Chains A and B, each alone.
Chain A
Amino acid sequence: MWTRVRDIERVFNTIDMLQNRMNRLYSDYDRMRAIPSAWGVAQSGPSTNLYDCGDHLEMTVEVPGVAREDLNIKVQGNYLEIGGSRNSNVPEGYSAQRMERGATVFTRSFTLPADVNTAKVEALLANGILRLILPKAETAKPKKIAIQ
């Protein structure tokens, strides 16, 4: 029985290796994953990037077509929640020929790698990208301890 499990494992390893080879062969293969998926189907919210810049964290969120007043951002300690909605009603007097963008309501929460100074959080929205600057809390910053 155990040898059989190991055989299956070996088959999977071989498949992994084959996939790696294929990735290298066709650079186009990677593009498949870059195609954005419709919100709510494969993903539960917008895509985000998070960078650690030493004394602050920087997060960028992809929110096309979401107005400033439709975004909700909550921070508490190292917990961050981003919520928002986009309605894509057919404009008055128009008939829809193709609808891909769709309306969406999303909430996404994150556990940040450090506590955040909630009073100094900045949020900027430009061209459908939300940029959050989250300064780390004093307690999360490294501190030098004097020896007496």
Chain B
Amino acid sequence: MDEKTEMVKREESMPERRREIPAVAPFVDIFENDNEILLQADMPGVDKKDITVNVDNGKLALGGVRKVETTGAAQWEEFESVEFQRTFSVPQSIDVEKIEAELKDGVLCLHLPKSEAARPRQIEIKSA
């Protein structure tokens, strides 16, 4: 056995090797009206306390960890513990202070209100 294969083998049998949770991008819907941008993301199985929403420097980062607890003998497993991660660019015109988030049925709903200055304004034409 040459040195190279031996090293690979040894790494595989390391007992303390941590099982990594796969990172997954959640599906999102983005809607917009005159007052706000509405973002909905599918995050099934994520607890409210395990969700992070960060807005920094024009970047909106969503994160959430789902831990699947297992009991008994697995007959089949089609989903597992995952880490949801996704980052969006948001326009500077978003009022960061007033962002609201709610979680319902595993769907994260984010309301990103536009600041006053960014809202469309109807301009009245004065008759001369």
Q: Which residues of A contact B73 (CB under 8 A)?
A: 51-53
Nearest chain B residue, comparing its CB with the CB of A125: B105
Contact of A34 among B40, B47, B82, B105 (CB under 8 A): B82
**In the bound complex, CA of A35 to CA of B106 (Å):** 17
Whether B107 is near chain A, meaning CB under 8 Å from some CB there, is yes
Q: Which of B28, B29, B32, B43 has the most CB of A within 10 A?
A: B29
Q: Which of A53, A125, A128, A129 has the most CB of B within 10 A?
A: A128
**In the bound complex, CA of A41 to CA of B113 (Å):** 34
- Known contacts A98-B29, A127-B103, A129-B106; is-contact A50 B76 (Cβ 8 Å): yes
B20 touches A49 (CB 8 A): no
B33 touches A93 (CB 8 A): yes
**In the bound complex, CA of A31 to CA of B25 (Å):** 11
Q: Which residues of A contact B45 (CB under 8 A)?
A: 62, 127-129
User: How many A residues have CB within 8 A of the partner chain?
Assistant: 42
Q: Which of B23, B42, B44, B72 has the most CB of A within 10 A?
A: B44
* Number of A-B residue pairs having CB atoms within 8 Å of each other in the complex: 120
**In the bound complex, CA of A96 to CA of B28 (Å):** 11
B29 touches A88 (CB 8 A): yes
Q: Which residues of A contact B37 (CB under 8 A)?
A: 97
Q: Which residues of B contact A125 (CB under 8 A)?
A: 105
B29 touches A62 (CB 8 A): no
**In whole Å, how far is A20's beta carbon from the nearest beta carbon of chain B?**
12
Question: Which residues of B (9-49) have their CB < 8 Å from a CB of A?
Answer: 12, 20, 22-25, 27-33, 37-38, 40, 42-47
Whether B70 is near chain A, meaning CB under 8 Å from some CB there, is yes
**In whole Å, how far is B74's beta carbon from the nearest beta carbon of chain A?**
6
A99 touches B29 (CB 8 A): yes
Nearest chain B residue, comparing its CB with the CB of A27: B20
**In whole Å, how far is A98's beta carbon from the nearest beta carbon of chain B?**
4
- Known contacts A24-B8, A35-B25, A47-B78; is-contact A127 B30 (Cβ 8 Å): no
Whether A14 is near chain B, meaning CB under 8 Å from some CB there, is no
B-to-A contact residues, CB < 8 Å: 8, 12, 20, 22-25, 27-33, 37-38, 40, 42-47, 68, 70-80, 82, 103, 105-107
- 9 A-B pairs with least C-beta separation: A128-B106, A53-B72, A128-B44, A94-B31, A47-B78, A64-B106, A34-B22, A64-B44, A51-B72
A-B contact list, 5 entries, CB within 8 Å: A24-B8, A49-B78, A65-B40, A128-B105, A129-B45
Given A34-B24, A48-B78, A60-B68; 7 other pairs, CB 8 A cutoff: A36-B27, A47-B79, A48-B76, A49-B76, A91-B31, A127-B44, A127-B45
